[in-house]
Structure 1
Amino acid sequence: MRGPVQEVFKAIVDVVNALQKSTGGSCVSTVNNPDILLGQGTVGAEMMEQMRARGSELDIIIAPCGSGGLLAGLALAFHGYPTKVFGVEPSKGDADDARRGRLQKRRIDRVELSTIADGLRCPVGKAVWEVIKRPEHVEDV
């Protein structure tokens, strides 16, 4: 990582690590913790509930990819239903790491992109990649 944004990110990580050490606390990853992933899937459950209340279903869901948590959570929530889940990400620079990863059949673990959009600078997390890479969960990115 390089540049002012990466320096700030590193400083934040250093503070979090120091707090963990001094308090004995935990740091919960938003993309590598199964409980958080399931929690993000509750968005899908709410969507289903609202559509059923209207007597309807969703044909497709188009979700931003970013680090992958929301997309993977939605994919798990709608697995086994006729709703198709798609991920979207910009094609600029390295921001399309999920798409490239699916094409290369491997998780892309580095994103080098100069942007203020924090969610675009994070690679897809390891745990969520296991969901996003599977076409039976995510139709396409």
Structure 2
Amino acid sequence: MSNIPDRESIIAAHERVAPFIHRTPVYTCESLNKITGANLFFKCENFQKVGAFKARGGMNAILSLSSEERKSGVATHSSGNHAQAVALAAKENGVKAYIVMPSNSATVKKAAVLGYGAELIECEPTLQAREETLQTVVEKTGATLVHPYDDHRIVEGQSTAAKELIEDVNEKLDFILTPVGGGGMLSGASLAAHYFSTGTKVIGCEPSGADDAYRSFKSKKLVPQINPQTIADGLRTSLGKKPFEIIMRHTEDILLADDAETIAAMQMIWERMKIVVESSSSVPLAALIRNKDQFAGKNVGIVISGGNVDLKELPF
């Protein structure tokens, strides 16, 4: 029996991070309600610090360090949003951060990490290269590893987004939809619904070109991500073991959307809601539209995971 975060640990994580993060707004959109036939409630983590929900997990992990661990700093790998989250949390708490990023990470995300004062180490754009480079950094520096998703401190922090969504929507949510890459957000949202909104079903949404979580969920065994092909750069990573265990217990389903559907959903959010969202954030709306009948007439919370995009390279 593993040590899955309980209700009290999520409440404690929320109290811990609350002074350091934004309680992001929940937006609605009548035109998207008409298009989808559902009542949608968007938790806008694109307005979060570092432009993504990952600020929550990164801050919770840094605030959970012992005084001894703080002295040696922290190290992680990330394509961008988690990297920025750990860099900012470390800066705000006077902790040194070493961030391993694949060379093809978005320029805007690399610049943000450097701007927060972290040490940036680039590597080849493969999961193996990321993990091997990170291991080398940890051995060399003695820094504490803060895994981007396979860490209960991260899951606890990410769960606070769905907890706030549940608290801030006056109506009972039938569903909460989140993107799924490493699984930190999906597992956190699944725990939040389990503890704070009985009857709310949580569904993960994943690109069909990076469908390891979908295959893992359906086969009930962890399937590694191999050569993902998707525009949703935040969702190219492999599902983590700890999130997978939680997802298998508390997640209702995982749905897919292809890149064309994701780009269409992304453009729809930009045009209809007038907000900046990244492609990974648009996968849940794309998956909902693909499966419209399942959500017709339902109250659906959608976590918009982030808004860090290179405006020179929009896909539409």
TM-score, L = length of structure 1: 0.79
Find the counterpart in structure 2 of residue 120 from structure 1.
Answer: 235
Aligned length: 131
- Ranked by relative contact order (alpha carbons within 8 Å, sequence separation 6 or more), the top structure is 1
Partner letter of residue 100 of structure 1? R
Find the counterpart in structure 2 of residue 40 from structure 1.
Answer: 158
Partner letter of residue 167 of structure 2? E
Residue 75 (structure 1) aligned to one of 186, 190, 205? 190
Find the counterpart in structure 1 of residue 205 from structure 2.
Answer: 88
Cα deviation, residue 57, structure 1? 2.2
SS in structure 1 at match of 2:145: coil
Instruction: Indicate whether 1:21 and 2:139 are aligned.
Output: yes
Find the counterpart in structure 2 of residue 49 from structure 1.
Answer: 167
Q: Is the 8 A contact 1:42 1:73 kept in 2?
A: yes
Cα deviation, residue 74, structure 1? 0.2
Q: Is the 8 A contact 1:59 1:83 kept in 2?
A: yes
Give RMSD over aligned pairs.
2.3
Cα deviation, residue 122, structure 1? 1.1
Find the counterpart in structure 1 of residue 20 from structure 2.
Answer: none
Query: For residues 90-138 of structure 1, what are the alpha-carbon distances to aligned partners after superposition, in whole Å with 9 as ceiling and x for unaligned?
Result: 223xx1111111222211123222345433321110100001123xx11
Question: Alpha carbons of 1:91 and 1:13: their partners in 2 closer, same or farther (altered >3 Å)?
Answer: closer
SS in structure 2 at match of 1:109: coil
SS in structure 1 at match of 2:168: helix
Q: Bigger CA drift: 79-88 or 111-120?
A: 111-120
Residue 138 (structure 1) aligned to one of 222, 243, 251? 251
5+ residue gaps, structure 1: none
Instruction: Indicate whether 1:61 and 2:179 are aligned.
Output: no
Find the counterpart in structure 2 of residue 102 from structure 1.
Answer: 217
TM-score, L = length of structure 2: 0.38
5+ residue gaps, structure 2: 1-102, 105-122, 255-316
Query: For residues 44-83 of structure 1, what are the alpha-carbon distances to aligned partners after superposition, in whole Å with 9 as ceiling and x for unaligned?
Result: 11112212xxx32222111111111100000001115121
Identity of aligned residues (%): 39
Q: Is the 8 A contact 2:150 2:182 kept in 1?
A: no
Question: Alpha carbons of 1:12 and 1:139: their partners in 2 closer, same or farther (altered >3 Å)?
Answer: closer
4+ residue stretches of structure 1 with deviation over 2 A? 8-23, 114-121
